[in-house]
Structure 1
């Protein structure tokens, strides 16, 4: 039994280590590209302050949902429900999309719910409660 566990953990360790090496190579390449862009900016404007350029957040492509699909689905469900537990809401969305047992998709939905503050609903005791329109 122990050798099975250790074997699986060794495999996972090798996988994670390989991914880290890939990402480090990508970071090195991006640093070279960034330096090239910075040098080009300086060619056109020697006094430009590179520190004034704020990094732009990039969005990782989502394999399960198109942009804005989760909030739209939540609003559809809330039309028929006055209140729903967050876990039930996640289960209903995953059921609609025929997604089974995918923790990454669950986390995507949970993150989307947490970003939806101020959309005529609030979260009370881990339930989404629809507020009446004023």
Structure 2
């Protein structure tokens, strides 16, 4: 039993050190690129204080999901539903469950597309099925 654990830890250590090496190489490349950009800026705008340019940090919007979170939420909604639901109804429920602001038409359209993609994927895997179209949206139910 201990041999398996040691081998697994050795493999994990090798993966981690490899990832660190890749990150360091990427960091060196980015530092080199930044030095070149600073050099060109010094030529084109000698009076510019380069440190005054603030870094741009990417923060994903709250509507983004972690891996598998959207599927779990959509399937849980369908499991508890007493009747088939449209894609748009499911999208509204997802937004309310995740504590997102009251859906306006633009954010609801984005979430409806995301839910629709999730449902089509689950339909291909046989987890859900579409019943009929209600206006623009299909009705969905869980396969029992």
Normalised to the residue count of structure 1, the TM-score between the two structures is 0.48
**CA radius of gyration, larger in:** 2
